Amino acid sequence: MFRGSLVALITPMQADGALDRRAFAEFVEWQIAEGTQGLIPVGTTGESPTLTHEEHHEVVEACVAVAKGRVPVIAGTGSNSTAEAVDLTRHARQSGADAALVVTPYYNKPTQEGLYRHYMAIADAVDLPILIYNIPGRSVVDMSVETMARLAKHPNIVGVKDATANLTRPLHTRAACGPEFCQLSGEDHTAVSYLAAGGHGCISVTANIAPRLCRQMHDAWAEGRAQDAIAIQDRLVPVHDAMFCETSPGPVKYAASLLGRSTEFCRLPMAPVAESTKLRVREAMTGAGLLN
C-alpha cells in the first residue's frame, strides 16, 4: 500500500531545454531527505508530453537508481495509445520501479468500456502494480466508480490517483473497490479532506517545494493530530493556489528555481510564467516560510 506524502516530480532542465541529470539526482535525494514517502517521475508535472521516449526511460531509471529502494518509485507510464502505455510500463518494470501510474487516455475520449479494455490490456501484459490516474480536467474523460470497481478485480490494478476534486468519490470508491484499494488524492487542496474521506495519501505538486511540510501534515493526520494537520494545510493553501494560478508545471518549476533546485525552463508549448505569477509564487512561498 502506498500512503502519505508522495511527490509528482518535476524534471529539472538546463536553460537550453536539455535534461539536467545532476539536478534531477540531487532533487530526488533532497526529496527523500526531507521525508517524501513516494516518488512519481515522468508524470504531467514531469513534462512527460514533451520528453522523448529515451528521455522518459532515462528519468525513470535515474529515479530508481537514486532512490535505492528507500521509498517507492511509481513511474508515469500512461499514453493515449494502449500499445505505447504497455511499452512504457514494461520499461518501468525492467527498470525496477515499484508501480506504474497510468493516466486515462487523453484526446481519444474513450467510452467506459474503452477505458476498461485499455487498463486490462496493460495489466495483463505487465506484472507490475498499476495505479489508475483519473484526471478529467486534462484527459476530458472521467472513469466511473463502476468501471474502477471492475478493474480493481485485476490483481495488478491496486489503486487510483484521484484528481477529480470530488470528495464524495473516495467514499463511493471505497465501498465499490474495498478498503485495500489504494486511494491517493491528486489535488493538493483536498489532501486532508481526502484523508478524512478514507484516502491513504496524496500525490502532490506542492511537495516539490515543500516536502517537509507536506510530510508533517500527513504524519499529523496519521497520528490523530487533526488540528495540527489542518494548521499545516491552512499554511499551504496560498502555495497550492500559486502553484495552479497558471498551467502546471510552470509555477512549480519557477518556485523550484527560487530554491536553487532547477531552472524555471519548461519545454514548449509551455510558455514562461507571467511576472504576476512570479510575484504570487514568491509571496506565497515567503508567507509559508519556504523563502526568507
Domain CATH for 22: 3.20.20.70
Q: What is the mean pLDDT of residues 223-230?
A: 98
- What CA–CA distance (Å, rounded) separates 282 from 2? 32
Q: Is 133 a catalytic residue?
A: yes
Does any domain span residue 28? yes
Per-residue pLDDT, 8: 98
How many angstroms separate the Cα of 243 from the Cα of each of 23, 166, 207, 210?
21, 20, 11, 12
Does any domain span residue 11? yes
- Residue 189: name the closest of 240, 223, 239 by CA: 240
> Predicted confidence band at 102 (pLDDT cuts at 50, 70, 90)?
very high
Does any domain span residue 265? no
Give the total number of structural domains in the chain. 1
> Predicted confidence band at 171 (pLDDT cuts at 50, 70, 90)?
very high
240: left (phi over 0), alpha (psi -120 to 50) or beta: alpha
pLDDT tens digits for 22-66? Answer: 999 999 999 999 999 999 999 999 999 999 999 999 999 999 999
Q: Is 161 a catalytic residue?
A: yes
Does any domain span residue 65? yes
> Pick the catalytic residue: 116, 119, 161, 253?
161
Sequence-distant (6+) residues with CB within 8 A of 219 are 4
Per-residue pLDDT, 50: 97
Does any domain span residue 77? yes
How many angstroms separate the Cα of 107 from the Cα of each of 136, 139, 140, 187, 242?
11, 7, 7, 21, 27
- Is the pLDDT at 1 greater than 90? The verdict is no
State the Rg of the chain over Cα.
18
pLDDT tens digits for 67-80? Answer: 999 999 999 999 99
- What CA–CA distance (Å, rounded) separates 118 from 77? 13
Per-residue pLDDT, 212: 98
> Pick the catalytic residue: 133, 194, 253, 254?
133
> Predicted confidence band at 167 (pLDDT cuts at 50, 70, 90)?
very high
Does any domain span residue 158? yes
- Whether residue 118 contacts residue 149, with contact meaning beta carbons closer than 8 Å, is answered with no
Sign of CA dihedral 276, 278, 279, 281: positive
Per-residue pLDDT, 292: 84
3-state SS string over 29-47? HHHHHCCCCEEECCCCCCC
Per-residue pLDDT, 193: 97
- Is the pLDDT at 141 greater than 90? The verdict is yes
Classify 8 as helix, strand or coil.
strand
Across 63-129, the runs of DSSP E, i.e. the strands, are 74-76, 99-103
Per-residue pLDDT, 25: 98
Does any domain span residue 145? yes
| C-alpha cell belonging to residue 171 | 467514499
| C-alpha cell belonging to residue 11 | 524534471
- What CA–CA distance (Å, rounded) separates 70 from 119? 28
Across the chain, the runs of DSSP E, i.e. the strands, are 4-8, 38-40, 74-76, 99-103, 130-134, 157-162, 182-185, 201-204
Per-residue pLDDT, 24: 98
Does any domain span residue 138? yes
Q: What is the mean pLDDT of residues 272-278?
A: 98
pLDDT tens digits for 208-217? Answer: 999 999 999 9
What residue numbers bound the domain in which 130 lies?
4-223
Query: Do β-strands 201-204 and 4-8 pair in parallel, antiparallel, or remain unpaired?
Result: parallel
- Whether residue 243 contacts residue 255, with contact meaning beta carbons closer than 8 Å, is answered with yes
